[in-house]
Structure 1
């Protein structure tokens, strides 16, 4: 299975402290990659490191405030100093704020856009430059079902995830010529902290579950295969693609 072998590759995974990012980091480590796990606070990735180390993998942790673009730039430089090269960049860190659009606080809008979109561009720009110089690289962004639809009471999150879909295609258009594949994963409804309010709402939970052809919410581990695929040689001719991992939600 050399097509999916990541042995010796360095992967930088943001938002790796729990949930989807943790599962993506562990999946890449199980495929042989060396992982730099990133969270928003010191010690945030301790559990992820423990899991990877206990399975015989190699990983270390960094942290940064993703609303602070200077800190994001410093993170990118530090990661490159540690690894020498980043072969795989997984832009997964994100945040969400819920409020009706008419009352949505401007500071919440700015924070969501900064974390979900601006930080992704800054990281991709710095790491991407190093990938261009090397002549190879994989960038995987975390999009969303709200890259396709509008959602309810999450205008900033929706705007940010539409932006991620567009940015993925824009970077692919420019960087494919340098043997860099830029793609995104659009998770469906997964059991994470971000969706806890929906999981706890009996009516919304039932409505969502009914629409998913697979008949269940996703578990974070369901993203591992897609992440490995987009990080591996198996996806070398896939670029600018948004891969929905949604149990069939978009098909219904």
Structure 2
């Protein structure tokens, strides 16, 4: 009989984590590495990658900008760096632009949609082609948002659109691929203190209003998103596919 804790182990598996140089992405990469996976950290910032690889076990740096890199080249580079085909991908790359909808620049809309929605699809599409062709089981993990479910704060129309869309992408891929061994799921973080939310939480009034609505009364740590992503990447979630797991301290119930 398999020890239940063994189901969370990723020994012998290879993973890509985009946005792996900081924040939630780096926390997820650390969790995967500690579980035994070989991890390719993808980020456009070389300095962040250098610092992250020093902290993430079993990791290698693959400098790339998901907004512009060819998915074929990215997967080729990650496979070369890790020495074999990919079993897991976590799409954690992202940035934020805050501006009222009436003034929102189309250039920022295009950039944000490209990073948060188009790039994850294209990377998973390329990985899916290879994994289906080889019959290799896999797990694709997308990072969503509370904006998958509700309008949370103003001034982020492109982010809200992209994160709403990523839920549709993972369900569509799951519908097509899960019968052939490729599971697609997502993590929808609640309020986590990262560089993406730093500007918001620097406003005492806004910060207090957010905390007042969270039943647990605190912000999440990036590691709390990482353990959920590890669960979805591992065999512990072998019968879960097409799901967006909300990890929000109770926000959506309040």
Distance in 2 of aligned mates of 1:7 and 1:69: 29
What SS does the corresponding residue of 1:138 show, helix, strand or coil?
Answer: strand
Q: Give distance in 2, aligned partners of 1:37 and 1:69.
A: 15
Q: Quick check: 1:164 aligned with 2:156?
A: no
Is structure 2 residue 48 aligned with structure 1 residue 47?
no
- The CA deviation at 1:251 is 1.4
Cα separation, 2, equivalents of 1:20 and 1:46: 17
Q: Distance in 2 between matches of 1:82 and 1:65?
A: 17
Instruction: Report Cα offsets for 1:51-99 as digits up to 9, x if no partner.
Output: 12xxxx31101121222153x4321221123332111100110121111
Output the CA distance in 2 between the equivalents of 1:164 and 1:61.
25
TM-score by length of 2: 0.94
Alignment partner of 1:224 is 2:223: no
Gapped regions of structure 2 (runs ≥ 5)? none
Aligned residues between the structures: 247
In the TM superposition, residue 243 of structure 1 has moved relative to its aligned partner by 0.4
Moved over 3 A (4+): none
Q: TM-score, normalised by structure 1?
A: 0.95
Counterpart in the other structure of 2:73: 74
Name the counterpart of 1:145: 146
Q: State how 1:1-252 maps to structure 2 within 5 Å.
A: 1-52=5-56, 57-70=57-70, 72-83=71-82, 84-132=84-132, 133-150=134-151, 151-252=153-254
Partner-residue secondary structure (3-state), 2:48:
coil
Deviations 1:174-203 (A, max 9, x none): 000111110000000000011011111111
Rounded to whole Å, the distance in 2 between the matches of 1:174 and 1:215 is 40
CA distance in 2, matches of 1:101, 1:217: 27
CA separation in 1, counterparts of 2:126 and 2:81? 15
Q: Distance in 2 between matches of 1:148 and 1:118?
A: 20
Cα shift readout 1:187-220 (whole Å, capped 9, x = no counterpart): 0000001101111111110011011111101111
Q: In structure 2, how many angstroms separate the alpha carbons of the residues matched to 1:170 and 1:51?
A: 35
Asked if the contact 2:225/2:247 (under 8 Å) is kept, the reply is yes
Q: Distance in 1 between matches of 2:23 and 2:199?
A: 15
Deviation at 1:42, TM superposition (A): 2.6
